[in-house]
Amino acid sequence: MMQVTPMERRCSFKRQNSAIDDMREEVKPIKRQDSNNSFRRPTVTADELWNLLQRHMASPLPECETIFPWLHGYSTTAPPDYPNSISIVRSQPMPDNWIQNSGVLKCSMDPQEFLLSWATLGDVRLGDDKSVVRDIIIRELARCRITLELQDMEDAISSCFEYGVLPFLNTDGRARNIYSMTRKVGNSHQQSLAGFTWKQPGSFRRFDIQPAKMLEMSSQIVVYCFHSISAHSNTKGHCSRCYRLSTVLDLALKFIQSNYSHNSERKPKISILQYKSLEDIPRDLMGTPPMTMDSLNKSSPIQLVSPFDLVSFNNWDRDLLYREKLEVSKMSSATPVEKSLSCWCGNSTDYQVYKLLLSDAKSSDLFVRDRLAYYSTQNSIVRVPKLNCDTNNPKVADSKLFNIPCTPRPWALMIRCLEKVSPPSLEKIMASLGTLLGSPNPSLIELNFPSSGTITLGSLNINSIEIILNLCYVLYQLGSLTDYGSLIYCSDGYTETTFLLVAYLIFLWDLSLEDTLLKLHLKYERPFFLFPVDLQVLSHLQSLLKQFSPKRPENYHFYRNRERAVLEPLEVTPEMFSKIFLFCVPPDLDFSTLKGPLPSRILSHLYLGSLEHAQSPKLLKKMGINYIVSVGEDLSWAGPMNSRHRASSSPTPRKLEALRKDPAKKPSRVRGLTVTGECSSSVDTLDENPRSIEVFEQEGFKILRITNLGDNGKDSLTNQLEHILAFIDECYRTNGKVLVHCMVGVSRSATVCIAECMKRLECSVLRAYLFVRVRRLNIIIQPNLMFMYELLKWQESQGKERAIDWPIICRSISELNNNYI
């Protein structure tokens, strides 16, 4: 369908005025008598709503073959049956002097999350002309042959005006085609309704439209608010905002039902919550209770968490971005990167907390003494239970949500790495060292340094190399000649800092780039991420950095000369500079093609990476990885699929477990094992290609490989998941390490890792998703809709309750992605 320009739209509205006037005659100007009548919408009590929600959460989700491909895109057919399904909608935030993100029931959604945005109209701005929305409603009423009371239409217009929305669900492709000035919704491209097919790539990750999908499926919708409690307590009155929104919902559902290829008998019941006071609301139904602005206050200047922060943290239905920041803060919190404990690497939270606690002499009793690995299940908010606000000891929650820096050496030098800054001058660097050496109690010195990925070979000259070299020199001398330490930090604790950190460690340890990265990863267990340009620059700089290393005997006396009051800077000669560019990186040590460049460590035994990582068996062996799960991809060094000896049987995971426990039952010299049967015979309506699982050993690796599994929105992982997890469990029990990979390491393999984390952490889909997402360093995992849905169904099959509903999970993922994409 041809897109309409703003001018054409205005002309079109003008030409159709006469027709619209005729349509208005069909709108009955009947005045409502709300004060004399009961609700024109049915009501439910808070207890009834809680019972309805419990029934909904206990009811199984529709099966994958039933719900897909319907979930993939705009709705042209009626939704599948979903008994006991319910949607809860908040009509408005809290009034002034209350926290807007409070007053939220469990599993509830806001109008902007499922209704088409007013911005869809492009040139028309909210408040310019309500007649635009009025004309749209009249036109759609006539098209659908719906009569509407005049007051109801005015209510719908007011509600659309208030929320900045149009009376259409985000899943209404017809409305978007007609009224949209943009071709994009949320973080995924729109499909044209006329030529829509679920196979279009943008359909596979339409997390943004799932709240609207849930409304289409629901048998009951309940609208509520806490803005005006008294309006909900009188059965002969009504909350005007809740009522107006219910009218918009009713219209939006009728409009989209008119798009269905077959008539739908589904008529969801739209009700309004009735209650007398907040005490009527069951405690378990309340996600975040209404809270005043005073709840943001803290009991002391050095307290990190407010009462609202605690209550908000307990409600995992909302604000996953806040939790992501907390998880990153814990995962990448400050750790020492050399044995003298003088140089540390951390994140901005470490910097802020450290400076905050410097003002409190008693804060040392809060220091966390045990430094946990970034992949530790204990070093996470995912397993933190609900927190209570302890008024007697409010700081207890701080240590639950943050890793408080523990520094045996006070940090006297703080180096912040960030984008768009120039490196400090050589004079400033040396002056900082002079200040730190010359004062018994020096003030904190802060420097900025360019982030990783910003220094290129073309930008290198003698001066810039001397700055890098002498910053390493200052870091070392501060630790060796004083009792003070330093902190290198950035916002997430690893992305921007890694270039400077690795340069310093090459200098300090006198090791090659490859050996430095492996030591940093295996011994110091520090998360890091290097861009290809960083690898290129460091590959050439490493020979110079090693030449000046304090590890070398010829340099020992120079670095230990304490008699020099002001140490002179290290000097790079033109000859040294020239040799940098003559250095050629051996092909087998070239990391520039690898992203990161190492696979991401998710758990002690679990790595997530790409096909490029899996194609580097030498690197994997050095990392101690001896198991590989190839999800839908072939390894060139492991040979083509089906080229190996196969077992004659097709064992289930239970039989595989029996074989492991009793080796005597294993057939002799069986090097390969192909699992078919239930894997290849259970093919849903979307799945066209049967697949098999092959298990074999080669070059010291035990490999599980799955065929014909693409990231295409139709291939299912469900039937393979138990086999894969049994294979990973064997690795876990033998103290091995396993790399799970697909092509890029963001969808198929990430889904497997989420399932493994759900199992090991005994947590829900959303919590495991966050755990994996944060540890897939600097890469956004993107399992497609079907994979995420399968994980939720798998959780259900394990007998775990669905604490967070499908549309809430999708909304959270969409909000996170919109922050980056």
The DSSP annotation for 697-745 comes to EETTEEEEEE-S--SSSS---HHHHHHHHHHHHHHHHTT--EEEE-SSS
- pLDDT for 440: 82
Distances (CA, A) of 504 to 231, 489, 546, 596: 65, 14, 10, 18
The answer to which of 183-192, 620-629, 721-730 has the lowest mean pLDDT is 183-192
Distances (CA, A) of 221 to 43, 111, 165, 320, 455: 11, 13, 19, 24, 55
What whole-number distance in Å separates Cα of residue 524 and Cα of residue 337?
A: 6
Please say if the pLDDT value at position 780 is more than 50.
yes
What whole-number distance in Å separates Cα of residue 494 and Cα of residue 526?
A: 8
The answer to which of 246-250, 335-339, 392-396, 579-583 has the lowest mean pLDDT is 392-396
Please say if the pLDDT value at position 657 is more than 80.
no
What whole-number distance in Å separates Cα of residue 439 and Cα of residue 350?
A: 25
What whole-number distance in Å separates Cα of residue 96 and Cα of residue 102?
A: 12
What is the DSSP code (8-state) at residue 526?
-
Distances (CA, A) of 312 to 287, 291, 316: 8, 10, 8
Length of the chain: 821
Residue with more model confidence, 583 or 564: 583
Quick one: 756 exposed, middle or buried, by C-beta within 10 A (0-12, 13-18, 19+)? Answer: buried
Pairing of strands 86-90, 220-224: parallel
Using an 8 Å Cβ cutoff, are 489 and 351 in contact?
yes
- pLDDT for 181: 66
SS3 489: strand
- Record the tokens describing residue 785, joined without a space: 């809709």
- pLDDT for 19: 45
Q: Could you tell me which residues come within 8 angstroms of residue 294 by beta carbon, excluding any fewer than 6 positions away?
A: none
Please say if the pLDDT value at position 431 is more than 50.
yes
- pLDDT for 638: 87
Please say if the pLDDT value at position 186 is more than 50.
no
What whole-number distance in Å separates Cα of residue 692 and Cα of residue 706?
A: 6
Other beta carbons within 10 Å of 63? 13
Q: How many helices (H) and strands (E) does the chain have?
A: 29, 23
- pLDDT for 586: 59
What whole-number distance in Å separates Cα of residue 310 and Cα of residue 394?
A: 10
What is the DSSP code (8-state) at residue 181?
S
pLDDT digits (tens, 9 = 90+) for 500-531: 999 999 999 999 999 999 999 999 999 999 99
Please say if the pLDDT value at position 696 is more than 90.
yes
Average pLDDT over residues 30-45: 58
Please say if the pLDDT value at position 122 is more than 70.
no
Distances (CA, A) of 371 to 250, 333, 412, 456, 623: 55, 9, 21, 34, 22
Please say if the pLDDT value at position 740 is more than 80.
yes
Q: Could you tell me which residues come within 8 angstroms of residue 331 by beta carbon, excluding any fewer than 6 positions away?
A: 374, 379, 380, 493, 527, 774, 775
Distances (CA, A) of 99 to 105, 112, 294, 397: 14, 18, 9, 21
The confidence band for 820, taking pLDDT boundaries of 50, 70 and 90, is confident
C-alpha torsion angle, residues 456, 457, 459, 460 (rounded to 10): 120
Please say if the pLDDT value at position 393 is more than 90.
no
SS3 268: coil
Cα–Cα nearest to 516, from 487, 495, 475, 546:
546
Q: Give percent of the chain with pLDDT exceeding 90.
A: 63
Average pLDDT over residues 615-643: 89
Pairing of strands 627-631, 672-675: unpaired
- pLDDT for 203: 78
- pLDDT for 230: 79
What whole-number distance in Å separates Cα of residue 226 and Cα of residue 231?
A: 9
Give the distance from CA 530 to its chain's centroid: 21
Average pLDDT over residues 226-250: 84
Cα–Cα nearest to 732, from 228, 377, 288, 415:
377
What whole-number distance in Å separates Cα of residue 819 and Cα of residue 677?
A: 43
pLDDT digits (tens, 9 = 90+) for 364-383: 544 445 678 999 999 999 99
Contacts 24+ apart (CB under 8 A), 656-660: 656/723, 656/726, 656/727, 657/726, 660/730
C-alpha torsion angle, residues 669, 671, 675, 677 (rounded to 10): -40
Please say if the pLDDT value at position 669 is more than 80.
no
Q: Which residues are catalytic?
A: 742
Using an 8 Å Cβ cutoff, are 349 and 357 in contact?
no
- pLDDT for 286: 95
Angle at 109 between CA 103 and CA 112, to 5 degrees: 110
Kind plus residue range of the DSSP H or E element containing 607: strand 606-609
SS3 446: strand
- pLDDT for 644: 45
Average pLDDT over residues 590-600: 78
The answer to which of 222-231, 443-452, 679-688 has the lowest mean pLDDT is 679-688
**Greatest Cα-to-Cα distance within the chain, rounded to the nearest angstrom:** 98
SS3 267: coil
The confidence band for 199, taking pLDDT boundaries of 50, 70 and 90, is low
As beta bridge partners, residue 418 has 450
Q: Could you tell me which residues come within 8 angstroms of residue 265 by beta carbon, excluding any fewer than 6 positions away?
A: none
What whole-number distance in Å separates Cα of residue 142 and Cα of residue 254?
A: 12
Give me the amino acid identity at 559: Y
- pLDDT for 582: 76
The confidence band for 390, taking pLDDT boundaries of 50, 70 and 90, is confident
- Record the tokens describing residue 495, joined without a space: 């992305």
**What global pTM score does this model have?**
0.89
Q: Is 103 left (phi over 0), alpha (psi -120 to 50) or beta?
A: left
Q: Could you tell me which residues come within 8 angstroms of residue 636 by beta carbon, excluding any fewer than 6 positions away?
A: 615
Q: Is 42 left (phi over 0), alpha (psi -120 to 50) or beta?
A: beta
- pLDDT for 566: 57
Annotate 32-70 with DSSP letters as a single string.
P-TTTS--SS-EEEHHHHHHHHHHHHHSPPPPHHHHTTG
Q: Could you tell me which residues come within 8 angstroms of residue 731 by beta carbon, excluding any fewer than 6 positions away?
A: 605, 626, 627, 702, 737, 738
Average pLDDT over residues 586-602: 76
Domains parsed from the chain with CATH numbers:
6-287 (no CATH), 331-382+401-589 (3.90.190.10), 600-783 (3.90.190.10)
- On average, the pLDDT of the chain sits at 84
Kind plus residue range of the DSSP H or E element containing 633: none
pLDDT digits (tens, 9 = 90+) for 440-481: 888 899 999 999 999 999 999 999 999 999 999 999 999 998
What whole-number distance in Å separates Cα of residue 512 and Cα of residue 585?
A: 11
Distances (CA, A) of 187 to 123, 177, 202, 256, 814: 21, 17, 9, 22, 7
Give me the amino acid identity at 242: C
- pLDDT for 550: 94
